[in-house]
Structure 1
Amino acid sequence: MPSSLMPSRTSADRALGGPGLPVPDSEQWISTTGSRIAPDPYTWMQAVHWAHDLGTRIPVRSHGPRFGTTTVLLAQQLAQLTPCRPGIDFLARILKVSARTVKYHMAILREAGLLAYRVKGTRVRQGRPLASEFARTIPSSFDQALGLRTVPSDTFIRAVVGVSEYGRAQLARLGKKAARTVRRKARSTKKPSFSASSDCTPMEGGSCTVSPAALTSSPSEDEPRSGKSSSSPTRRGRTRKALNAVGRRYQLGLELVRQVPWLAGTPVARVAWAARHLADAGWTAHEVIAVLALRAPSDRIHRPSGFLTARLIGVEKLFDTPAKRANLVAWWRHSPQASRERHVEWSSSWSAPRSNAVRRLVGEAFTASKPKPHLAELPAEPTDAEQAEIRTLAWRQYLAGQPELVISAITLAGRDSAEQIYGTDLVQRVVRLASTSSHLTTGAPR
């Protein structure tokens, strides 16, 4: 950040060590930083708590979070790392915050002079990303605010050689904070309770609205040995929230889907939209079913939600009072036709499916279910006259262009059995004819 854009220093900032904050990007490296390296994590946490105590007096960016409890929690995790090479995802998982929040507070620590880059991380395509390595540093404003005297050092850039009396007291105070672990405050959801003792007046002459003995009960006289009490503590159940208009619509839609057979499988949202006017008017599922029972359903319903919408048009105006709806439900329950419809499942005449693929599968299923034709059972040893008659019939059909008898024998019994029945010559002719072009025919010329 250019020096012309740095915030102006105030007298309060000079007293607390505010000058020099935030640290520009060019001075957030170990080679260019004006801070000194912290000799140990304990000393570094003292500087972190000092920066946290400054609060809003630390100049920060115009957007994003400020130096707060989350920053201190992040610093506690960084103080435990050796070397200080944190992973953003790891810190976000430990602190239970987002990765963007971790990046914001890492930037806050760098701008406060508490962290300096040793090596900046890289993101190489098709390579392993490297995390940034930091050095825990203490800003010079901390030394000035606490009156610490420092000299040049090869190891820590600057080393502390003396401290003022004011600085000793402040270091002791910051040391207590650095020694304990900071934890995020849990949100309290406990409601204030009022005890009975607040209504009691001490000493004589007082009265108590609630007696401690009121919480106990005498044993039952019927069972003196067991000592069981007739009154058992009631278990506090959950109080269900009242449904709003949308909840009542979905509740009515779900009941209709479960109770009306031809609505089975229909999305509840569509049924809730179709019956929204009735749900808003306070109708129940039985009242809607009674209205639907006034007219018998169609033989075939293509779209149940649309059919329901057409049936419910204007019924909330026709049955506009609870008394009318009660009479309708009473008729529905005692009507023989309605009773028959309640006990008989909704059915319709079957029609072929529209999809060609489904039709083909249905046809194959029907074909497989039909009994296969089989050859007439012949005697175990047919006579020569019967054998000659069978072969003569097969030859006549073959010459007439109808070799189905031999083909069925080959398909069902096999070629060897067909040759035994009709002869080898006829079977060979039929097989040769079946393997040639379909334009070839047998029998008399056309």
Structure 2
Amino acid sequence: MKNIFDINGRIFDECKEHRDDNERIPMLLTGEYGIGKTNAALLYCIRNPGSLYFSFKNIKSSLAPSIFAKHYSHIFSECYDWNDFFLQLEKYAKNIVPAVFFDDYGDRNDKEEFSNCLNDFLNRNKYICQIILIINKGERMSHLGEAFGVVMQEFNPVIVRKAFDRISEADAFRLSALTDGYYELLKLYNDEISFEENIKQFLNNGSPFYRFAVDYLSHFLRSPESYNSLLYAIALGNNRITEMSDFTGFPKNKVDKYIKALQEIRLVWKTKDRNGHSIYVIKNNYFKLWYKYLFAEQTDIDGNFSDDTIANFINELEHKLVPETFGKWCCHWIFIHQNRLSDRIPHVYEEKNLNVNINGIVFDYAETVSGKLILLKTFINKPSKEEWLEIEKAALTVTPFYNTEFIIGSMNGFKEYYWNINRKYDNIHLVQLQSLNI
């Protein structure tokens, strides 16, 4: 795997821009746990000699000045408190003008003295260095005053494709759907073997792929066991509070309390079903698969899951989650190309507009915007002429042909017939993997 940050690069550009424009406030780099924030910081330090990296992980703030000073003993003498630490940093930074990273800032709620001394340091010094605090989404930013925020996003399918020398466009998308663009999972992929062989290696209870879910919950929650039961219940289709209570045996008030905690760490989100009832779903594909197929399964003596478990895991990914993910990216394509479709913003993320049945054809998205019908229908394989005629027939039951914008998505391209009608009519839009260059 190539270094994915060579391709992305955004984080470094924003660091440099912030250093020039906002010298007296720290930069706050945030993103999901496992997204690659630490890797980005360490790589930045390698490429920018003189920059410094510190981590609060598993360290009390009161002990950190001494530990940090020992890490860079050629820069710091012994430090007993934060005031001493920042005075020594001030002497060093005057000649170097470095970026200074403090990772795991949200690891403990004990940063008041650190924050006060940091603010004093920044108020005394201008253009001396860039302070970057790194925090996971969902962690509390204790005692932090003004800061310039930069959010590190998951890596999209286009970047995933460019990160590997020997991976097909389709496999890159499948990998993106499986990992949700998390760097800690992406880096485990071996492009010298097939996608299926990679999954077989992932599905071992000692593998980093398996351990990521365990580590994620352990990082945010003191007692993950009860939360595991709820996530397992949701993965099996128990999406309402009452259903979760019945499945786990927990009283409803306890379920409600735990669900709120899972929402805070963005593992679960609240939506509504077709009848308008509140339901809770697991946010991303990796955790959906992990809890549905791996959480309660037994392994053999080597930690491997059964052939049936592996087959069910792959089947769910291939026939449900990959198509759903492709549909979501096609919805995003509609959103970013909205000016081509309507003079008003389409609501492509609202549940009521998704999986809409029109005359027997289920559209990924359907909505009337400013009097014009916008339809999205996606396919994994190349759609046939007959499938187009069915789409057209369904649309005509609602509104005339010229009053409809047709978006047809296909992961594996289109037959010549579709390109012909695309050239003939300007209200037929074809979206394939190459189109998702976001």
Q: TM-score, normalised by structure 1?
A: 0.20
Higher strand share: 2
- Comparing both chains, which one has the higher relative contact order based on Cα–Cα distances under 8 Å and sequence gaps of 6 or more? 2
Q: Which has the larger radius of gyration?
A: 1
Q: TM-score, normalised by structure 2?
A: 0.21
